[in-house]
């Protein structure tokens, strides 16, 4: 028939799993085991804003899935399926070869994370390339992690390390020199969502860091009706990130795209948190505390509040 249908058949039909009816219908179906509820999240990536036009198609695909997988991880949900919406600019370099690589990247991560394509929509459009995923996961009913459970006295914790992806973007923009091992750019291009942890009953609030540590702490503080104090000295920074201090301090402290989990945890659950994360080989570090009040403060090594020129990623 016409272009859309061939295009979908070539690139996306091989990715379709149970319930997708081979992408041959108006939609798709999905069942849930008894006692579970559905968790949904959606993220759009726009060329030039969330990825660069010359990023490899394979990593663009994987970043798209992983940003969404990270949202599920933040809600304590196991990923199952995703809907994919693609708006393809006509007459650009997003050609057959590009989409074959894009589909290969999706296929790799489907395998890695145990998910399948369920359905979606493909349309032509003027530039830029726009990619959207709505991801679907499952969780035991009532066991979804939320942002609003932080209580004064809780510790603030973060998985992994911070700042690599933000520096990686600066490398891509030609503003700083690349690290020889390419780890910064790779962190920018392919996040590692923290799926697979089971933190319900341990942590009091959770979200993933996409817009930057301070701004995302602000969300937990606001939704929880509390303040958050962070300690710069406590932040987990890897050696290749520390190498860019002090010049790129603000980029490192505020930069987004980490896709690590930001958690608040009652003191009596700290040991359980550390034990659980160790069992899953996920580093976790205490970086601050929840207090009465509002807003987010980061204290430097002299316990002076740091004044930033901005808070984090601006969407508009």
Write the interaction track for its own copies spanning residues 231-270; mark x where CB under 8 A is met and - where it is not.
----------------------------------------
Q: Residue 70 or residue 179: which is nearer to its own copies going by CB?
A: 70
- Closest to 191 measured CA to CA, from 222, 223, 166: 166
Q: What is the SS3 assignment for 219?
A: helix
Residue 91 contacts its own copies per CB under 8 A? no
Q: Residue 75 or residue 273: which is nearer to its own copies going by CB?
A: 75
Separation CA 266–CA 155 (nearest Å): 6
Task: Pick the binder of its own copies from 218, 255, 266, 288 (CB under 8 A).
Answer: 218
Residue 193 contacts its own copies per CB under 8 A? no
Burial of residue 169, with CB atoms counted within 10 A of its CB: 0-12 exposed, 13-18 middle, 19 or more buried: buried
Q: Which residues pair with 89 in a beta bridge?
A: 125
Residue 100 contacts its own copies per CB under 8 A? no
- Which region, judged by CB under 8 A, interacts with its own copies, from 42-50, 56-64, 150-158, 186-194? 42-50
Separation CA 205–CA 202 (nearest Å): 9
- Is position 95 annotated in a ligand binding site? no
Separation CA 223–CA 159 (nearest Å): 21
Q: How far is the CB of 282 from its own copies (least distance, A)?
A: 18
Residue 72 contacts its own copies per CB under 8 A? yes
Residue 309 contacts its own copies per CB under 8 A? no
- Which region, judged by CB under 8 A, interacts with its own copies, from 46-54, 105-113, 250-258, 282-290? 46-54
Q: What is the SS3 assignment for 76?
A: coil
- DSSP code, position 179: P
Does residue 155 come out as left (phi exceeding 0), alpha (psi in the -120 to 50 range) or beta?
A: beta
Does residue 27 come out as left (phi exceeding 0), alpha (psi in the -120 to 50 range) or beta?
A: beta
Task: Pick the binder of its own copies from 46, 243, 245, 267 (CB under 8 A).
Answer: 46
Q: How far is the CB of 312 from its own copies (least distance, A)?
A: 8
Task: Pick the binder of its own copies from 124, 152, 225, 293 (CB under 8 A).
Answer: 124
- Is position 154 annotated in a ligand binding site? no
Please give the helix or strand (H or E) that residue 70 lies within, else none: helix 57-74
**Residues annotated as binding site?**
26, 41-43, 50, 71, 120-121, 147, 208, 210-211, 257, 313
């Amino acid at each position: 028939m016409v272009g859309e249908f061939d295009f979908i058949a070539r690139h996306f039909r091989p990715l379709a799993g149970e319930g997708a009816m081979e992408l041959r219908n108006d939609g798709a179906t999905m069942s849930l085991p008894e006692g579970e509820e559905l968790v949904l999240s959606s993220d759009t990536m726009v060329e030039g804003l969330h990825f660069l036009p010359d990023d490899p198609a394979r990593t663009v695909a994987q970043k798209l899935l992983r940003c969404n997988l990270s949202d599920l991880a933040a809600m304590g949900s196991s990923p199952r399926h995703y809907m994919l919406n693609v708006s393809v600019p006509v007459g650009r370099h997003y050609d057959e070869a590009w989409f074959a690589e894009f589909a290969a990247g999706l296929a790799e991560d489907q395998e890695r994370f145990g998910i399948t394509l369920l359905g979606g929509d493909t349309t032509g459009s003027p530039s830029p390339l726009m990619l959207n995923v709505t991801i679907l996961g499952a969780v035991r009913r009532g066991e979804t992690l939320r942002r609003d459970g932080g209580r004064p006295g809780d510790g603030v914790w973060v998985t992994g390390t911070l700042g690599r992806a933000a520096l990686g973007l600066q490398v891509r923009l030609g503003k700083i020199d690349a690290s020889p091992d390419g780890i910064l750019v790779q962190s920018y291009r392919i996040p590692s969502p923290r799926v697979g942890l089971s933190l319900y009953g341990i942590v009091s609030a959770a979200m993933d860091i996409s817009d930057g540590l301070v701004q995302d702490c602000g969300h937990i503080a606001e939704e929880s009706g509390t303040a958050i104090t962070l300690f710069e000295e406590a932040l987990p920074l890897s050696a290749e990130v520390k190498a860019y201090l002090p010049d790129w301090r603000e980029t490192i402290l505020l930069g987004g795209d980490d896709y690590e989990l930001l958690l608040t945890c009652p003191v009596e659950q700290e040991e359980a948190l550390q034990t659980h994360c160790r069992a899953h080989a996920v580093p976790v570090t205490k970086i601050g505390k929840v207090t009465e009040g509002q807003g987010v403060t980061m204290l430097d090594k002299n316990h002076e509040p740091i004044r930033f020129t901005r808070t984090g990623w601006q969407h508009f």
